[in-house]
Amino acid sequence: MSNTTQDSSTTLKLILAWGFVGIPLIWGVLQTLTNAMKLFQ
Amino acid sequence: MAFTEPTTYKRSLIPFLDRSHSIAKPGFSRWLVPPAALCVHLCIGQAYAFSVFNLPMTKLIGISQSAPEDWKLTQLGWIFSLAIFFLGVSSALFGRWVEEGGPRKAMFAAALCWAGGFFISAIGVQIHNLWLIYLGYGVLGGIALGIGYISPVSTLIKWFPDRPGMATGMAIMGFGGGAFIASPLSVWLMSKFSTPTHIGVMETFIVLGVVYLFFMLVGSILVRVPPAGWAPAGYVAPAQTKKLISKNDVFVYDALKTPQFWLIWWVLCLNVTAGIGVLGQASAMSQEMFPGHITPIAAAGFVGLMSLFNMGGRFAWATTSDYIGRRNTYFVFMVLGFILYCTVPHAGSTGNVALFVICFLIIISMYGGGFSTVPAYLKDMFGVRYVGAIHGLLLTAWSAAGIFGPVIVNYLREYNITHGVPKAQAYNNTMYIMAGLLVIGFICNLLVKAVDARFHMKDSTEAGSAAAAAAAAAKA
């Protein structure tokens, strides 16, 4: 039971930590990709 | 390969920042460390996007157009140059402090310097004093760049002894990706704070300073160092040692006495020189080599695509190096780069835009890969203990390349054009010179052999004296 709680707590921390850096990065990449598409227009 | 941590540490004014307070407890997931590193690298990667402020800062007084009292672009160009110069200086000077103080203290210091740099620059914009911006973003921000860049390197290598290239590749990818966030965010903030009588650079600097301070402090809170003797579950160090992967550590300043350090210095310098020169001139080069085919808008798209490959290459090539080896990865950079640089003039003469674009996208991915693969290369050569500090010393190669690359591309272009070479062919000689540089890089890489055993650390020498000094300081 305690192991399960620890596992789910670690999983939550991982989601939060990766989301914290991943969401801004994906937003930035999408912005850049939108601009980059002008090369093919 | 399990590593050993020093058993005594210097105490700081804020004990929370001490290395001893950042040792991971049982159950900690090592996959929390890359986001901590990314918190710092994504922020300091803003440096690549600083140019978005250049034009607005030439119109702070005139607003719609530059007034005579406004700053000139040439004066503003020094801000970025100063920051990159101080990146090299601080990473070389503070490398050992970063290594011995631990990643949390280093990330905390980088956060204060980076945000402080923005706040001082905001005051500089408000009272229209350029020297304050040189001091703020250039000097203080540059120091933050140096400390922040190397702060997570050795920690990641210790957490991922099975995949050191991938681990450092993730962090250094963040440095390439920071500009993607900073560029549109800065433009949006300036548009929100600007009025018909005011350009919102000062407010944008303050908001960026606050946001970056928050992100980097989260990184410093999140980061952990592994306990002594830790190794990933199920990880077994290779029984058969490879010739170019050392299990011994080399003290940071002893690394400077080895030919391996200087050979890798030249490998990095030449690889970066070849990439940085074309990165800065990509827009103009593509338009001049393909007049009528690549418009300024398309060229901007090309630059954006190059930035994506620069970032992606940092992760992809560093991860690849875990499988094919560091030296072989640099051989690929040198050989493939040579072929691609020699192909570019052919693409120009035949008007093959697709070939030109593909060549440069691969070249720029290898430029990024050169940065991200080198920490693991250093770890293979000099061991884990001082790899961050040695990496800091090696970054002076970046500063040198930052001068060589643009100078070669710009001056050769000017020389060719003044000697009657058509603009479309003005870059051909430059491409062949870049290819030549990669041949020299190939030879340097070929000469890299295992470090002589006399440079290896022994507990009775440096490690012992460092531990004794730390113990004495702790008692005092």
**For chain A, what are the domain ranges?**
2-40
The CB-side HSE value for B310 (13 A sphere, CA atoms) comes to 26
Local confidence pLDDT in tens for the 476 residues of chain B = 444 445 455 566 788 888 888 999 988 999 999 999 999 999 999 998 888 898 899 999 999 988 999 999 888 888 988 898 899 899 999 999 998 899 999 999 999 999 999 999 999 999 999 999 999 999 999 999 999 999 999 899 999 999 999 999 999 999 988 988 998 899 999 999 999 999 999 999 999 999 999 999 999 999 999 998 889 988 887 766 677 788 889 999 999 999 999 999 999 999 998 888 777 777 788 888 888 888 888 888 888 888 899 999 999 999 999 999 999 999 999 999 999 999 999 998 898 999 999 999 999 999 999 999 999 999 999 998 899 999 999 999 988 887 777 777 778 878 888 888 887 788 888 889 899 999 999 999 999 999 999 999 886 444 444 444 444 444 33
d(C-alpha B430, C-alpha B427), whole Å: 5
Interface test with B, best of A2, A32, A37, A41 (most B CBs within 10 A): A32
The alpha carbons of chain B give a radius of gyration, in whole angstroms, of 23
d(C-alpha B245, C-alpha B383), whole Å: 8
Q: Are A22 and B340 in contact (CB under 8 A)?
A: no
SS3 B223: coil
A31 chain-B contacts, CB cut-off 8 A = 180, 183-184
The CB-side HSE value for B419 (13 A sphere, CA atoms) comes to 10
d(C-alpha B187, C-alpha B207), whole Å: 12
d(C-alpha B38, C-alpha B174), whole Å: 5
B286 chain-A contacts, CB cut-off 8 A = none
d(C-alpha B287, C-alpha B348), whole Å: 11
The one-character DSSP state at B21 is: G
Contact check, Cβ <8 Å, B302/A29 = no
- Close Cβ partners of B105 (under 8 Å, ≥ 6 residues apart): B12, B17, B18, B19
Residue B370's identity, in one-letter code, is G
- Please give the interface size between A and B, counted as residue pairs whose CB atoms are below 8 Å apart: 78
d(C-alpha B327, C-alpha B417), whole Å: 38
SS3 B26: coil
A15 in contact with chain B, both atoms CB, cutoff 8 A? no
d(C-alpha B257, C-alpha B297), whole Å: 49
Taken in order B364, B159, B376, B165, the sign of the CA dihedral is negative
B165 in contact with chain A, both atoms CB, cutoff 8 A? no
The pTM score is: 0.86
Phi, psi at B244, each rounded to 5°: -100, 15
- Close Cβ partners of B84 (under 8 Å, ≥ 6 residues apart): B47, B142, B145, B398, B399, B402
d(C-alpha B314, C-alpha B307), whole Å: 11
SS3 B461: coil
Contact check, Cβ <8 Å, B357/A39 = yes
d(C-alpha B444, C-alpha B451), whole Å: 15
**What is the DSSP track for B233-294?**
TT----SS--TT--SS-B-HHHHTTSHHHHHHHHHHHHHHHHHHHHHHHHHHHHHHHSTTTS
Q: Are B333 and B426 in contact (CB under 8 A)?
A: no
B298 chain-A contacts, CB cut-off 8 A = 38-39, 41
Q: Of B32, B42, B298, which has the smallest distance from its Cβ to A39's Cβ?
A: B298
What are the distances in angstroms from CA B227 to CA B5, B37, B158, B160, B232? 8, 18, 10, 13, 11
d(C-alpha B473, C-alpha B476), whole Å: 5
Strand stretches in B4-122, DSSP E: none
Structural domains of chain B in order of their starting residue, each with its CATH number: 15-231 (1.20.1250.20), 252-454 (1.20.1250.20)
pLDDT (tens digit per residue) in A1-41? 456 776 788 999 999 999 999 999 999 999 888 888 877 76
The one-character DSSP state at B197 is: T
B218 in contact with chain A, both atoms CB, cutoff 8 A? yes
Distance from CA of B275 to the nearest CA of A (A): 19
